[in-house]
């Protein structure tokens, strides 16, 4: 970020160690002592149907809103995304609330550098001069994934024709999938509906999994 731009309050909104809530780790599905499945050890080489050490996918949520950053109103879209990603099994940090512009690029670069599998943003995707989230995202990604953004716009179109005005994009930076969602609660819900069946598969592909 350019010095003196005023986009981030030092040590507050973008301080990843202090602003981001620790992700809750999923609870193990173990049985109580003395239960029917604790009667004896599993046979060696047997198929228990469970993965002993499945990798925990990590996600970061970034809310882009000048007014939420200033405390004018509460962030509503970010918590919706956190809940939606946790339902998919992700360990989620955030939402980190930033002003539009350079602070978005900084938050995304921090997230990619921290090794998140997915970063989902909300806000800053419209046509006003201050809606710069897609432009900042393009600075960070290496490859665009246009089908995701197209599907999200299409999902919102029947109920909200103005969804076609969204400039949101999606792409891959390093090994992180970055997806822009609109700032409205309805747009966030439409976006999550599109992401729900494809997100984990997309992450697997980015890490070299089969199609």
pLDDT at 12 over 80: no
Structure pTM? 0.76
Here the tokens at position 7 are 């986009």
CB 83 within 8 A of CB 195: no
Q: How far apart are CA 29 and CA 26, in angstroms?
A: 9
Cis-peptide, bond into residue 17, ω within 30° of zero: no
Sequence-distant (6+) residues with CB within 8 A of 161 are none
Looking at residue 64, its pLDDT comes to 98
Nearest CA to 77 out of 176, 165, 156, 183 is that of 183
142 vs 120: CA distance, rounded Å? 16
Q: Give the model confidence (pLDDT) of 25-44 as tens digits.
A: 334 334 333 443 334 444 34
Q: Determine the average pLDDT of the residues in 53-81.
A: 94
Domains of the chain in sequence order: 54-206 (3.40.980.10)
Look up residue 152 and give its two tokens.
């999200």
Q: What is the DSSP letter of 163?
A: G
Label residue 211 by pLDDT band (50, 70, 90): low
Tokens for 172, please give them: 């891959």
Average pLDDT of the residues of the chain:
82
Q: Quick one: pLDDT at residue 40?
A: 42
- Most confident range, picked from 11-15, 17-21, 150-154, 206-210: 150-154
Residues 39/75, Cβ–Cβ less than 8 Å: no
d(C-alpha 206, C-alpha 12), whole Å: 32
> What is the mean pLDDT of the segment spanning 160-184?
96
Tell me, what's the pLDDT at 55?
79
Q: Residue 58: beta bridge partners?
A: 91
Average pLDDT for 154-174: 95
Residue 8 vs residue 134, higher pLDDT: 134
**Dihedral of the CA atoms 143, 149, 151, 155 (nearest 10)?**
170
The mean-pLDDT minimum among 53-62, 124-133, 184-193, 196-205 falls in 53-62
> Can you give the pLDDT at residue 154?
96
Instruction: Indicate the pLDDT class of residue 122, thresholds 50, 70 and 90.
Output: very high
């Amino acid at each position: 970020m350019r010095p003196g731009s005023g986009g981030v309050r030092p040590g507050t909104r973008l301080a990843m160690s202090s602003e981001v809530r620790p992700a809750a780790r999923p609870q193990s599905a173990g049985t109580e002592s003395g239960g029917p499945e604790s009667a004896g050890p599993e046979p060696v080489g047997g198929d228990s149907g469970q993965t002993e050490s499945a990798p925990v996918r990590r996600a970061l949520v970034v809310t882009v809103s000048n007014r939420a950053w200033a405390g004018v109103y509460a962030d509503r879209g970010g918590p919706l995304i956190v809940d939606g990603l946790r339902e998919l099994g992700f360990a989620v940090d955030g939402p980190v609330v930033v002003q539009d512009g350079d602070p978005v690029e900084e938050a995304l670069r921090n997230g990619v550098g921290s090794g998140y599998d997915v970063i989902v943003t909300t806000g800053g995707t419209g046509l006003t001069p201050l809606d710069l989230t897609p432009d900042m995202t393009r600075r960070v990604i290496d490859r665009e994934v246009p089908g995701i953004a197209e599907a999200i716009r299409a999902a919102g179109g029947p109920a909200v024709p103005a969804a076609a005005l969204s400039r949101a994009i999606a792409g891959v930076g390093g090994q992180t999938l970055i997806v822009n969602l609109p700032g409205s609660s309805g747009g966030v819900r439409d976006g999550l509906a599109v992401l729900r069946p494809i997100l984990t598969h997309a992450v697997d592909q980015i890490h070299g999994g089969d199609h």
